[in-house]
Amino acid sequence: MSRFPRLETLPTPALVLDTDRLDRNLHRLSARMAEIGVTLRPHMKTAKSIDVARRAFPDGPGAITVSTLAEAEYFAGYGFHDLTYAVGIAPHTAERAMRLRKDGADIKILLDTVEQALIVGEAGRAAGVTPSAFIEIDCDGHRGGLLAPDPKLLEVAAALQADGVAIAGVLTHAGESYALDTPEALEAAAENERAVAVDAAERLRAAGFACPIVSVGSTPTAHFAKSLDGVTEMRAGVYMFFDLVMHGVGVCSTDDLALSVLSTVIGGKPEKGWIMIDAGWMALSRDRGTAAQRVDQGYGLVCDLDGRVYRDLVVAFASQEHGTLAIRSGSSEPLPDLPVGAKVRILPNHACATGSQHERYHVVSGCEGTVTAEWPRIRGW
């Protein structure tokens, strides 16, 4: 007999991970990148789990991206030494990253200013190591980075070289692709991401600077890029699980969503068309990423215990520990009969945000109702 419970007896709220869907998602993108001939450097910011990383790398540790130094230290402890820390560097993080580099990890950091280049150089000298840094490139105005034609690109490269920092290459992220929802727009975003990164790399090389890695990445562009000429690696993270935002973008179907939150019905107000559950924003997160999309999924889409979607039933409202289920506005679907004690599963808007609310995954395989494992998640910074 399994030492793990069946889903219907699991205390709630609980984070559930379907490995059938996870494995299918992992294979889909790894096969696509292999066909194109570009290295896939998965971003572990969504998974935050060595068990998930081992599914992505069944033959042993490979190149990964992280969003926190806690992740970097955690994965390095399991043999993942080829790391990209894809968040802009500051003095305290530079020092910590250099300690990790001194311990044997090939951690590459990210920056876009001369000031940061000097900080990294100083941290490297203090630790007795040679730092390696990406110059961040802005391809769509989403966040940080330099425009490829900006003279500061060469100034930052010169500062890195003068301060003894190896230039790993250029890195960009098409974050605005998350706001798109047609194949044509996504293909255009992917091509822009590629072209801008390659342009920046060529400008560096023409000025005499090394630029071995041209790194691009977002889950939408990874799946819609027609060409990656000049690119050496692709970063993506949420593709492992997918979520309702990615569904709204058009990257996946709801049948691809590997992550859900198990919850229990704790009451209702039939006169208002409400069913109450024990998963509020503490379990689901406050992320409302689908609100700006064509279909607003509230705080999540509701499924039965086997993962089958209840048509137009969403978590319409959420407070700290309460979720309110209701039929989507404008729909004629009836409210399902869900008595107190019934279990439902909520598909999240944003897998990264929902996952961060939980300490572990309760692992299932497809429609099998037995939990087969519990996988811890790394938390903190």
Q: Is residue 135 part of a domain?
A: yes
CATH code for the domain of 202? 3.20.20.10
Instruction: Look at the chain and report how many structural domains it folds into.
Output: 2
Structure tokens at 87: 């968040």
Q: What percent of the chain has pLDDT over 70?
A: 99
How far does Cα 54 stand from its chain's mean position?
A: 16
Whether residue 316 is found in the same domain as residue 363: yes
Whether residue 144 is found in the same domain as residue 228: yes
Whether residue 149 is found in the same domain as residue 225: yes
Structure tokens at 6: 């069946």
Question: What would the pLDDT profile of 260-318 be if each residue is shown by its tens digit?
Answer: 999 999 999 999 999 999 999 999 999 999 999 999 999 999 999 999 999 999 999 99
Question: Once rounded to an integer, what is the mean pLDDT over residues 248-265?
Answer: 98
Q: Which of 236, 268, 288 is the endpoint of a domain?
A: 236
What sign does the CA torsion over 16, 21, 25, 26 have?
positive
CATH code for the domain of 338? 2.40.37.20
What sign does the CA torsion over 206, 207, 213, 214 have?
negative
Whether residue 274 is found in the same domain as residue 220: no
Question: What would the pLDDT profile of 30-55 be if each residue is shown by its tens digit?
Answer: 999 999 999 999 999 999 999 999 99
Whether residue 85 is found in the same domain as residue 210: yes
Return the pLDDT at 368. Answer: 85
Q: How far, in Å, are 46, 97, 305, 346 from residue 105 at the CA level?
A: 21, 9, 42, 38
Structure tokens at 45: 């910011």
Question: Once rounded to an integer, what is the mean pLDDT over residues 60-85?
Answer: 98
Question: What would the pLDDT profile of 179-218 be if each residue is shown by its tens digit?
Answer: 999 999 999 999 999 999 999 999 999 999 999 999 999 9
Return the pLDDT at 157. Answer: 98
Whether residue 295 is found in the same domain as residue 211: no
Question: What would the pLDDT profile of 76-88 be if each residue is shown by its tens digit?
Answer: 999 999 999 999 9
Q: Which of 171, 205, 236 is the endpoint of a domain?
A: 236
Whether residue 354 is found in the same domain as residue 289: yes
Q: What angle do CA 262, 255, 264 make, to 5 degrees?
A: 15
371: pLDDT strictly greater than 70: yes
Q: Is residue 41 part of a domain?
A: no
How far does Cα 61 stand from its chain's mean position?
A: 19
pTM, two decimals, is 0.96
Helices (H), strands (E): how many in the chain? 11, 17
Q: Is residue 90 part of a domain?
A: yes
Q: Is residue 35 part of a domain?
A: no
Compute the distance between CA of residue 91 and CA of residue 96 in angstroms, rounded to an integer: 9
H or E stretch at 165: none
Pair 210, 202: CB distance under 8 Å:
no
Question: What would the pLDDT profile of 299-310 be if each residue is shown by its tens digit?
Answer: 999 999 999 999
4: pLDDT strictly greater than 90: no
Neighbours of 229 (CB within 10 A): 11
Whether residue 230 is found in the same domain as residue 350: no
Question: Once rounded to an integer, what is the mean pLDDT over residues 84-93?
Answer: 98
Neighbours of 262 (CB within 10 A): 26
Structure tokens at 365: 């395989």
Q: Is residue 345 part of a domain?
A: yes
Return the pLDDT at 1. Answer: 44
Pair 311, 351: CB distance under 8 Å:
no
Q: Is residue 289 part of a domain?
A: yes
Shortest CA distance to 286 belongs to which of 274, 296, 298, 277? Answer: 298
Q: How far, in Å, are 108, 269, 275, 328 from residue 324 at the CA level?
A: 44, 10, 6, 12
pLDDT-based confidence at residue 131 (cuts at 50, 70, 90): very high
Q: What angle do CA 83, 88, 94 make, to 5 degrees?
A: 70
Q: Is residue 176 part of a domain?
A: yes
Shortest CA distance to 233 belongs to which of 63, 46, 25? Answer: 63
Query: What range does the domain containing 191 cover?
Result: 81-236
Compute the distance between CA of residue 75 and CA of residue 349 in angstroms, rounded to an integer: 26
Q: Is residue 139 part of a domain?
A: yes
Compute the distance between CA of residue 170 and CA of residue 71 in angstroms, rounded to an integer: 22
Angle at which helices 114-127 and 152-162 pack, to 10 degrees?
Answer: 20
Whether residue 126 is found in the same domain as residue 179: yes
Compute the distance between CA of residue 60 and CA of residue 47 in angstroms, rounded to an integer: 17
Q: Which of 176, 203, 236 is the endpoint of a domain?
A: 236
Whether residue 174 is found in the same domain as residue 319: no
Compute the distance between CA of residue 97 and CA of residue 78 in angstroms, rounded to an integer: 17
Whether residue 199 is found in the same domain as residue 272: no
Whether residue 317 is found in the same domain as residue 344: yes
3: pLDDT strictly greater than 80: no
Return the pLDDT at 2. Answer: 55
